[in-house]
Amino acid sequence: MAHLLVDRSPVIVIGPAYLDRVIRVDRSLVELSQGSPLDQSVDGTWRFGSGLKIVDSAGGILQLDLPATWPGPQGVITLSRPLLSSGERHVIGLEWHDDLGGMGAGYAGAFGAKLMSALGPVGDPMSQAIHQLLELAGIEHRPVRIPGTMADWTLLISSGGFGDKLPIGFRGCHSSWTELPSELAQSCQLRIVAALPNRLAEQALRTPGAQLRMFAPAMRNVLDRDRPIEEFSDAINLLACNRQEWDQLADPDRIDSQVDIVAITNGPLGSAIRYTNLRGHRTELAVPVFPRARPPLDTNRAGEAYASTLVASLLNQGWTGGRVTSDVIEKAASRATAAAALVLDRRGFGFPSPSEIDLALANGRID
């Protein structure tokens, strides 16, 4: 897999690598009138039983008919907050597969970067499976072993061309992670902190050694009011999130005033990039989605493809933080939205290469 940085400048990623059990279903996950497509991560608890029913904290129910070869989980999964339509919605599972997941693994794969993430003890089967998937993806991995706990994993429900993505996380070692590896302080051009608990994310962002620091939060980071992102946004050069996450921040104006570049994706509605131009004016660029000739196969990893391509293009054009010209932002945004459109045709772990992005831009659409 070709990587995004032209000069392969050193990049370090610290964030989770999961086992994703992916099931693709035959229709949207929520009624179109209630905000589909859904693109939010959420924690879940699992009670064993027959079939598979997803219940949110407000009583919304998603009932799944499972493929004949489905290996589990089965039973009732309760979400930590309301996400689903009111009442009960029924969907049919078309196919499933296991894949490498987690934003840490995604950004490391896109950049060809070293990944630091938590795993359970050497004998934990889930940790062994994740380690093997990282090796297959060619990702250099520095695991931090957390004794007495299994690795995290995710049930990821995707509606394919309907655009929904619902990752339900079952938390293990990352929620028990307390001490960052000393290697994090080594010199690098870019340090990416992805979806770590905020108490750890702040430490990772403030650790010396990185010229630039990027934060990619999950919704649980945004909803953390004990240590809100606003309290350490001065340590972030680039923030990448989706519109649902941005809208849930307690004080987005404070973050916008402290972070050099804020990239906010909004699914089929495109994206917005907020930056400070050379005159010192805060500016927003609205970026439409890149044209495609067909519906997506899978929306998983689109956000990571967008953000990683955006920051790689900025670095390749010489951005070193702070103010930036509109031309640099516009070129980076074009490449980012093309990368996001290309990754929609992938059902397995992986990201488009620079040459694939170049070809898409030359053609003006994904055919």
53-97 per-position pLDDT tens digit: 999 989 999 999 999 999 999 999 999 989 887 789 999 999 999
| pLDDT score of 35 | 61
**CB within 8 Å of 115: residues ≥ 6 apart:** 13, 14, 15, 17, 104, 105, 108, 134, 139, 140, 141, 142
| pLDDT score of 6 | 60
| pLDDT score of 292 | 94
Alpha helix (H) residue ranges in 41-147: 103-111, 125-136
CATH fit for domain 11-363, picks 3.40.1190.20, 3.40.50.2000, 3.90.740.10, 3.40.50.720 = 3.40.1190.20
Which pLDDT tens digit goes with each residue over 260-301?
999 999 988 999 999 999 999 999 999 999 999 988 888 889
Which range among 39-43, 48-52, 189-193, 361-365 shows the weakest confidence by mean pLDDT?
Answer: 39-43
| Band of residue 38 on the pLDDT scale cut at 50, 70, 90 | confident
Q: What are the structural domain ranges in the chain?
A: 11-363
3-class DSSP state of 185: helix
| pLDDT score of 41 | 86
| pLDDT score of 33 | 64
3-class DSSP state of 2: coil
* CA angle (67 as vertex; 65, 68 as ends), nearest 5: 120
DSSP letter (8 states) at residue 269: G
pLDDT of 341 above 70: yes
| pLDDT score of 97 | 93
| pLDDT score of 302 | 93
